[in-house]
Amino acid sequence: MEVVLFGASGMIGSRILRELVSRGHQVTAVVRNPSRVEPHPQVKTVAGDQTDVADVVRLVKGADAVITAYSPGVGTETEILDATRWLIAGTKQAGVKRLIMVGGAGSLEVAPGVQLVDTPQFPTGWKAIALAHRDTLPILRRSDLDWTNLSPAAEIQPGERTGKFRRGANTLLVDGQGHSRISAEDYAIAIVDELEHPAHVRQRFTVAY
């Protein structure tokens, strides 16, 4: 497929890029600094801005799908809300229907009606971005795109590509020891699986070991 990937140089975005390329997709990698993406015959790296509707239209027109791993900086976490609005608007104007978004774990439930971000043990330093990601979900749900939001496990970091993990819906997945984790490599597999075989259109889902 022809895929536009925003945030392609970040910790998660770079793994998604690698997974897309390994499966033969053609990727337009949209980043702030193109020098951070290694040259590859299947990748066209461009500087672009997800918060600029006209820029989004220019970049995604003709694509089969858009994936965003956009991540705002510390202190600017709520910028992801406008970035999501502008991305939706630009994607729609460009005539592209499929949008897959990297989400957050904080809005997953740990008990009926209780989200992870609202528990006392949730790390203070991650609360702002968790709340911002939670607030993007209503924005996606109001759109008429074929969107998917993928919430990771509570812990996501570079690791092994195993291809062995569980999928869930709106509840935090934990293992037998009570841990909730996923490698960025396996998270990327779940993203590209969803691209190739849509199973959660207009839904949020999660993955973990």
Q: Is 206 helix (H, G, I), strand (E, B) or coil?
A: strand
| List of residues 6+ apart from 120 with CB closer than 8 A | none
- Topology of the domain covering 2-208: Rossmann fold (3.40.50)
Domain parsing of the chain, residue ranges? 2-208
Specify the pLDDT at position 49: 84
Give pTM, 2 decimals: 0.96
| List of residues 6+ apart from 142 with CB closer than 8 A | none
Specify the pLDDT at position 89: 97
Task: Name the stretches of the chain with pLDDT < 70.
Answer: none
Angle, CA 20 vertex, CA 16 and CA 23 arms, to 5°: 140
Specify the pLDDT at position 168: 98
Q: What share of the chain is helix, strand, coil (3-state, %, to 5)?
A: 35, 25, 40
